[in-house]
């Protein structure tokens, strides 16, 4: 084999004996051709995740197919949004103090800067919203904090302070759900599946109106199942464990070192939770005959008409149509699965107490506004 001209010149200039030069060249050439090809998924964010799944009993080749697929892309938005929400909840009292301080600075009397939301603070917020041309809510939020922080216009001398709205002190309902069109769809769905809903009520306890209320709030009766893939969302969350990965979502907040440590600790907890849900998703997909790459879901990995987390799909899923698999994207399986979940979390046939109903529904989604909306839809269905 003759060395290419560039190689010959390079070795000739070293002053080495021709035989030595030729031997070195052949050795280097052999090393180049013998070098192994890069392993699949090299430099991938999923490598450690795949190893962990394999250690938990999943097939490596199958996992490589899933995580080497271009559709499985890392998305920092999942953990970033979650940590921003948790940060805002954890440090809400700091936000309230900031709102009070800015309101007082601008001449809207908010009372003591104590981090507590009382009537005076809400009244001052209503005055600021009215003077600024905003929708008057009287609610102390991070959005109001951000607007106040950049405001330099003092309160007008004749500032008005509108009266509080009926739901200012309470969570209210999702107004986007309680529309004429959406409620009509709920009524039509209730009528179409009346027999199935009666069977679920008989077997598990929850009335059909409540089940349809949940479906109406969760997925608009199956018309919205999520914009992204559940697998990518859960996997992205499972590999997000360091503050640097969510720092862009905190840039408009002054985050202290202690708060950063708290955020990173919560990230590790949520990453471990997401890993378990990811493993459950893969097991559910295998049992239900779904390709996990193509299952739509919420930003945090909930799937199906009723938006079950994958672990709940495995634990509470019911094969309602008797075809040998639990398909949470089918009404015949989704409705009895919901009934089974609610029964397991305390729903009883004779449970007419609104407080007890709310307590069980809160296990489905820990939002008072969510629970209120589900029951408001149920009330509408009873009335119609």
Express each pLDDT in 252-292 by its tens digit.
999 999 999 999 999 999 999 999 999 999 999 999 999 99
Q: CB-side exposure of 69: number of CA atoms within 13 Å?
A: 16
The neighbour count for residue 322, using CB atoms within 10 Å, is: 8
pLDDT at position 201 is 96
Position of tokens 């509408």? 380
Residue 35 has what DSSP assignment? S
Exposure class string for 161-183: b at 16+ Cβ within 10 A, else e? beebeeebeeebbbeebeeeebb
The span from the CA of 272 to the CA of 44, in Å, is 19
The neighbour count for residue 186, using CB atoms within 10 Å, is: 24
Long-range contacts at 248-253 (CB < 8 A, ≥ 24 apart) = 248/76, 248/80, 249/80, 249/81, 249/83, 249/84, 250/83, 250/84, 250/87, 252/146, 253/87
Look at the chain and count its residues.
Answer: 384
pLDDT at position 43 is 66
pLDDT at position 23 is 44
Structure tokens at 89: 């909840």
On whether the CB atoms of residues 216 and 185 are closer than 8 A, the answer is yes
Residue 227 has what DSSP assignment? S
pTM equals: 0.83
Q: Which residues of the chain have pLDDT under 50?
A: 1-42
Please give the radius of gyration of the chain, using alpha carbons only, rounded to the nearest integer. Answer: 29
pLDDT at position 5 is 36
308 strand-pairing partners: 303
On whether the CB atoms of residues 337 and 326 are closer than 8 A, the answer is yes
The span from the CA of 371 to the CA of 219, in Å, is 15
The span from the CA of 79 to the CA of 246, in Å, is 7
pLDDT at position 44 is 83
Residue 210 makes CB contacts below 8 A (sequence gap 6+) with 342, 357, 361, 374, 375, 378
Helix (H, G, I), strand (E, B) or coil at 228: strand
Position of tokens 């009537």? 119
On whether the CB atoms of residues 24 and 6 are closer than 8 A, the answer is no
Could you read off the pLDDT of 304-343 as tens digits, one per residue? 999 999 999 999 999 999 999 999 999 999 999 999 999 9
- Beta strands (DSSP E) in the chain are 228-229, 296-297
The span from the CA of 14 to the CA of 30, in Å, is 21
The span from the CA of 138 to the CA of 247, in Å, is 30
């Amino acid at each position: 084999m003759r060395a290419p001209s560039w190689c010959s010149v390079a070795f000739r200039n070293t002053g080495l004996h021709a035989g030595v030069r030729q031997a070195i060249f052949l050795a280097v050439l052999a090393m180049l051709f013998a070098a192994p090809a890069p392993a699949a998924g090299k430099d991938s964010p999923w490598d450690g995740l795949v190893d962990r799944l394999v250690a938990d009993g999943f097939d490596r080749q199958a996992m490589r197919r899933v995580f080497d697929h271009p559709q499985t892309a890392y998305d920092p938005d999942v953990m970033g949004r979650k940590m921003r929400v948790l940060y805002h909840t954890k440090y809400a009292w700091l936000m309230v103090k900031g709102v009070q301080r800015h309101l007082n600075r601008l001449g809207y009397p908010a009372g003591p800067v104590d981090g507590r939301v009382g009537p005076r603070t809400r009244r001052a917020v209503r005055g600021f919203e009215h003077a600024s041309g905003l929708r008057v809510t009287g609610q102390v939020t991070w959005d109001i904090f951000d607007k106040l922080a950049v405001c330099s216009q003092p309160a007008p001398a004749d500032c008005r302070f509108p009266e509080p709205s009926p739901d200012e002190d309470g969570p209210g309902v999702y107004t986007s759900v309680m529309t004429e069109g959406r409620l009509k769809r709920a009524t039509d769905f209730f009528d179409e599946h009346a027999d199935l809903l009666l069977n679920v009520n008989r077997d598990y306890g929850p009335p059909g109106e409540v089940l349809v209320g949940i479906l109406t709030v969760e997925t608009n009766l199956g018309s919205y199942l999520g914009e992204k893939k559940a697998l990518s969302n859960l996997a992205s969350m499972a590999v997000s464990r360091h503050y640097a990965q969510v720092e862009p979502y905190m840039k408009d907040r002054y985050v202290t070192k202690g708060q950063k440590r708290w955020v990173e600790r919560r990230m590790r907890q949520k990453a471990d939770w997401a890993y378990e849900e990811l493993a459950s998703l893969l097991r559910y997909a295998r049992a239900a005959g779904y390709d996990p790459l193509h299952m739509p879901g919420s930003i945090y990995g909930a799937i199906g008409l009723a938006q079950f987390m994958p672990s709940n799909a495995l634990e509470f899923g019911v094969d309602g149509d008797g075809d040998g698999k639990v398909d949470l994207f089918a009404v015949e399986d989704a409705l009895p699965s919901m009934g089974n979940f609610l029964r397991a979390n305390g729903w009883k046939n004779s449970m007419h107490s609104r407080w007890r109903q709310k307590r069980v529904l809160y296990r489905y989604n820990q939002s008072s506004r969510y629970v209120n909306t589900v029951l408001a839809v149920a009330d509408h269905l009873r009335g119609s």
